[in-house]
Chain A
Amino acid sequence: MSEKIPIGEKVLMKGNEAIGEAAVQACCDCYYGYPITPQNELTAYMSRRMIEEGRVFIQTESEIAAINMCYGSAAVGARSMTSSSSPGISLKQEGISYMASAQLPVFYVNVNRGGPGLGNISPAQSDYYQTTRGGGHGDYRVIAFAPSDVQELYDLTMLGFDLADKYRNPAMIQADGILGQMMEPLVLHEYKRPPDLPSKQPWRLGDPSTTDPLLVTSLVLNVTGMEERNLELQKKYDTITENETRFEEVGLDGADVVMVAYGTASRIAKSAMEVARAKGIKVGLFRPITIWPFPSARLNGLADRFDNFLVVEMSLGQMWEDVRLAVEGKAPVHVHGRTAGGIPQQADIVADLRKVLDAKPGEIVKNF
């Protein structure tokens, strides 16, 4: 693919590589990464494309070094990126927390695999808590996209860089081994830089055009100062929640059950929905595209109109918690979860949809 990138055309591409090309198109200046399955194709792709483009690529000594190189590059105003899979993302959390505190933009990708621990290399969504709660220490959040196909991996990577810059905050993609490894046709859109992105000149280091010394730090030793910084961050998170929450609704009209699923699980839920409808079960699908900010307000509104929710996830009840918090007890929230490479099966989902409809008041369907 390196000879000539057919921008504007439809091509067949692996998810991991689509992320890479989107990053290259979106003017990523520096990529730092360490090998881990199932995201290796992304690092490999960047090793060729970034160097072809005369940009920075380093295969680092560790995931920790990679995120700290991002920290340095971001501090001098460069678009920086790293990627990994679950255990490697855990290693990066310290650096991500520092960047959230120092308000440095970074874009990173977590192609989830089975956990906890070394787990396995099979697809999973079990880093949901880590992704949506910030991930490292302290009161902070990262903008987290949950694409469900290769086109979205491409498009949301571009958006991720832009929002990271816009809000001076880490932004990331939560994918899984299936999305990373699968190939699918996509159109390689040209990148268009949003005209409203703020300049980095006022805060980037090493720039001779700023004469007063600047400081990039995550350390504010006095209590008032650090609490103030936290409150400033919270205000920013409120703005992001208001402006950047994204979701998709499929066939909700007249549904007796609303399934809530993201990423690969949402595609399986969509297939199950078709099977269920053929069997006369009225079911719709709500798909969060951002899992932080989570579309809580919208779900709360839906709970006024719909009687049942079934969360389908490749983790054991992690997103279930967010949906329950969102609907505030207005409707029962059921859950179908598989993990560590266990993939929800269409037939099992359809069977659980039946159970949901047959459930007595107060009864919650939970498959694990």
Chain B
Amino acid sequence: MERVFTKPVAMKEPRTLYCPGCGHGVAHRLVAELIDEFGLRERAIGIAPVGCSVFADLYWNFDVISTAHGRAPAAATGMTRANPDCFVVSYQGDGDLAAIGTAEIIHAANRGENFVTVFVNNAIYGMTGGQMAPTTLVGQKSTTCQLGRDPAIMGHPIRVCELLQTLGGVAYIARGALESPKTIMKTKSYLRKAFEYALDRRGFTLVEMLSPCPTNWGMTPPQAMTWLRENMLDYYPLGVVRDVGAEEKAQKPVAA
């Protein structure tokens, strides 16, 4: 029988231990598919951050390093600077990247470090049990904002892509979502672009992935997909936020 679908070589297990409906499995797979497409498995290093994806090494079939909470961009900098031949995918959640690791991501972006950042934004802390994240929406409830996020007390949800895109070292920043086959495929195209730019050493690349967390949102997986679509997309608009390649093309005079 013809085999029409299989797991990527860069994936160890077809199944993950994540909760039903979680976006991490999809995000892992997108990374693995592109590692295969670009033939990078032997020199790839994935970062397993602190958070639900701390055991990414169970799934990725290439080298993995687990880093301290928030410090993935620093460790990725250390790896790519010391050995520019390795291909580093720095994978971070919203607490890791936008709370405890804010300084590291800003400065890695500003220096234009040549690794790919996958930023999984599910608007909540997953592993520790549903606490407020820096990206938790206004009014959204969590175990540490039980009455709903009140910006007067807790500040506003951070739009990471928009925050970073002004920095000089940035080559590519885009925001996708993992709520339907269509947005997943779109997100993969963003990630492909980021891989290309990193391989060309054009500078800092980041793809944000809006991702469902049914367990900590207190919903079924289908409800979570709907909630993401109806609540997150307005505040976190999808699309390419920064693309230096496209900017250069736009600036070139059209040939007569």
Contacts and interface: CB of A to CB of B under 8 A. Distances in A.
Contacts, number: 130
B238 interface: no
A206 B86 contact: yes
B81 interface: yes
B79 A205 contact: yes
Max count, chain B CB within 10 A of own CB: residue among A70, A80, A213? A213
Contacts of A76: 45, 78-79, 82-83, 86
Contacts of A70: 78
Nearest to A78: B82
A69 B74 contact: yes
Interface string B91-111: 000000000000110110001
B104 A61 contact: yes
B81 A205 contact: no
Nearest to B72: A68
Contacts of B34: none
B78 A69 contact: yes
A76 to B, nearest CB: 4
Interface stretch (B53-61, B144-152, B171-179): B53-61
B57 A215 contact: yes
A60 interface: yes
A99 to B, nearest CB: 10
A27 interface: no
A206 B79 contact: yes
Interface in A188-224: 205-208, 211, 213-219
Chain B residues touching A, range = 35 or more
A208 B42 contact: yes
Interface in B69-88: 71, 74-83, 85-88
A152 interface: no
A95 interface: yes
B52 interface: no
Max count, chain A CB within 10 A of own CB: residue among B12, B62, B67, B106? B67
B83 A78 contact: yes
Contacts of A74: 78
Contacts of B184: none
B7 interface: no
B44 A206 contact: yes
B68 A58 contact: no
29 contacts: A29-B82, A32-B78, A56-B81, A58-B111, A60-B107, A61-B103, A61-B104, A61-B106, A65-B77, A68-B75, A69-B75, A70-B78, A71-B71, A72-B67, A72-B80, A73-B78, A75-B65, A76-B45, A76-B86, A78-B82, A98-B67, A205-B79, A206-B79, A206-B87, A213-B61, A213-B62, A214-B64, A217-B64, A219-B66
Interface of B: 12, 42-45, 48, 54, 57, 60-68, 71, 74-83, 85-88, 103-104, 106-107, 111
Given A56-B81, A65-B104, A69-B75, 13 more contacts: A29-B82, A30-B82, A58-B111, A64-B104, A68-B71, A72-B77, A76-B82, A78-B78, A98-B67, A206-B86, A208-B43, A213-B63, A216-B65
